[in-house]
Amino acid sequence: MISIADLAMNYGKKTLFEKSSVTFNPGKSYGLVGANGSGKSTLLRLIAGEEKPNSGTISVPRDLKLGVLRQDHFQYENIKVIDVVLLGKPALCEALREKEKILESENLDSQSGHRLGQLEEMIADADGYVAEPFAAELLSGLGIGTGFHTGPMSALSGGFKLRVLLAQLLFQQPDVLLLDEPTNHLDIVSIRWLENYLCTQFEGTLIFISHDRNFLNVVASYIIDIDYEELRLYTGNYEQFLEAKTLAETQKRKEIENYERKTAELQAFVDRFRAKATKARQAQSRVKQLDKMDVPEVKRSSRISPDLRFEEFRPSGKTVLTVKDVSKKFGKTEVLKNVSFEIQRGEKVAIIGPNGIGKSTLLKIMAGLDTEIEGEAIPQKGIHIGYLPQEPELDPAKDVRGNVEEGVAEIKAVLDRYNQIN
């Protein structure tokens, strides 16, 4: 059990949380939610002991094994992918290496035999004889094909390297698993696999951050909301949390409204009858009531709801975009072949599929940014297409306003509604 009591954390003038207490029970799954910058990742680092709080205590039993998802995949560039996963259990890897070294030796004696017996016991206790099949299962579940398992990490892209590190963490089978946005680099198939693994095979305590609403609903049995500079525990998944929080905020608003109405009535009576001798005693009684009334605590939520409106330049025709017999190759690799479809006015279309199958390429073709294709993508005449790439090219020398104003003249009004311009 991990226990947090009277926790307070701030950076300069920015307070993340104060006087917050929560307990993480064994075998339960906790989703951390809150606005960007509210302190979710900071809370994970505090639990992992990577940062110290300004005040309060975080009690983690000494024998509890914490598993934290690392991002330092570059240190494994020349190591086989499956061996990187096995490194999740360093003691097992060391025992396997020592066993192999002894068996390769030509001078086996009784001492070597005794040591082999010890190593066999260590390997068995760590499930070492099913380690490689288990590691391979994790890699395949996370979308890394078997053809890459025995190759070097350097052969993988950055996103797939992070999947290997996630597999390494799952291979550790820690008592407590700390995950910060574990689905960021996964496709839909891998996300579903991870959901199933965490729900059916992982037996420890899970504490995770995610902006994936479905993932939170499937995996979390509790939600910890970081808002109003506090940690608040809700039982249930994300949808149940939203219902409970909405109810609590409605009750809070009613409490404030009742307080304001009551104080206004009392103050009006005092102002009206204070000077009248016949009502002076009653007016003084109202003043005492005002002094004794508890003022409801009002804190501003860290969540900001943007007011975004998308207005069309002019109504389009029925068929907005036609893709006809589109094929696309990168060298000898064909990612699209004879793709044809139409998009009608008002439709909302999702493009899904494994990583590398051509989803982003298809979007670029539809936006008119990739014309080196067979076939054609024909937008209706006069329509305006907006395109957001995965990694927008921004000028680091410019501020937020400067970068965005290059493309959208009306952006100041949008950012003002976000309340992000000083």
Helix (H, G, I), strand (E, B) or coil at 161: helix
* pLDDT value of residue 170: 94
Sign of CA dihedral 385, 386, 390, 396: positive
C-beta atoms surrounding 321 within 10 Å: 19
CB-based contacts of 332: which residues, under 8 Å, 6+ apart?
A: none
Instruction: Report pLDDT digits (tens) over 228-270.
Output: 888 999 999 999 998 988 888 788 778 777 877 888 877 787 7
Cα 54 from Cα 251, distance rounded (Å): 32
Helix H or strand E encompassing 41? helix 40-47
Instruction: Report pLDDT digits (tens) over 205-236.
Output: 999 999 899 999 999 999 999 888 889 999 99
For residue 408 the two structure tokens come to 């959208």
pTM (two decimals): 0.74
Cα 134 from Cα 39, distance rounded (Å): 35
* pLDDT value of residue 198: 95
Average pLDDT over residues 10-20: 86
Instruction: Calculate the average pLDDT of the chain.
Output: 84
Question: Residue 421's pLDDT band (boundaries 50, 70, 90)?
Answer: very low
What is the residue type of 228? Y
Residues listed for the chain: 422
* Cβ contact 186:163 at 8 Å: yes
pLDDT at 17 over 70: yes
Average pLDDT over residues 112-116: 80
C-beta atoms surrounding 320 within 10 Å: 16
CB-based contacts of 278: which residues, under 8 Å, 6+ apart?
A: none
- Nearest Cα neighbor of 202 from 180, 233, 171, 181 is 171
Instruction: Report pLDDT digits (tens) over 156-183.
Output: 888 888 899 999 999 999 999 999 999 8
Cα 42 from Cα 139, distance rounded (Å): 29
